[in-house]
Structure 1
Amino acid sequence: MSFLPENYEIPATQNSYMKLEKGENTFRVLSPAIVGWEAWKTFPNGDKKPYRWPAGEGNGPADPSVFDLDDNGNPKFKHFWAFLVWNVTLRREPRPGDGRAGSGCLSGVG
């Protein structure tokens, strides 16, 4: 005998980020794009943390050398963009307290 109802299925985990699937992805952009720069820092215990700041002159870290370096010893900064989207395919409603409309944030790093 189980304490869960018969035929119970665990709900799929929802994520605040839209994952692009192979093939066609249909979504509606709900906000202006946020663009900026991203770098990662690895701590002595092995934890990694992303740092992001808006694009523009004068923005950025005071000491870029504290971030992870590429093979040439330069900080690995990547340009990113993000915006709120409604994933038409999933038709997912916003979750209470999510702070985001639609199905989440679509982000790209290049």
Structure 2
Amino acid sequence: MPTPTLNEFFKNRVLWKVYAIWFMRRIVPLIVAQIVILLIALRIFANKVFVGKVLENATGAADSNLWEFIKYIFTAFFGTHTLVQIAILLGLGISSLILRDFGRALIAYLNTFRR
């Protein structure tokens, strides 16, 4: 592999700085906003649901068979208050958006190594 010239070195350095600025301006604010909303939703969820008991009951349902576990999950979800259901859906949605943003940032980062 040939040694990079001084011109290529500066080009790579500038590209890294541009990428860092882009990441800080575009991705970080989105991730921070999503995390704040997720924390608020989790706080509402934690005040309304005793998670330890739900996990204990889920373990009991999972011990019998998979169908009982799936039935338990749906019964537990639809048996909760509307606010808790909204918090769960918000948490799942925002978590998927955070994963999507991390994936996009990772792909953009890996594309900086392509020639």
Q: TM-score range by the shorter chain?
A: under 0.3
Q: Which has the higher contact order (CA 8 A, sep 6+)?
A: 2
User: Which has the larger share of strand?
Assistant: 1
- Bigger radius of gyration: 2
TM-score by length of 2: 0.20
TM-score by length of 1: 0.20
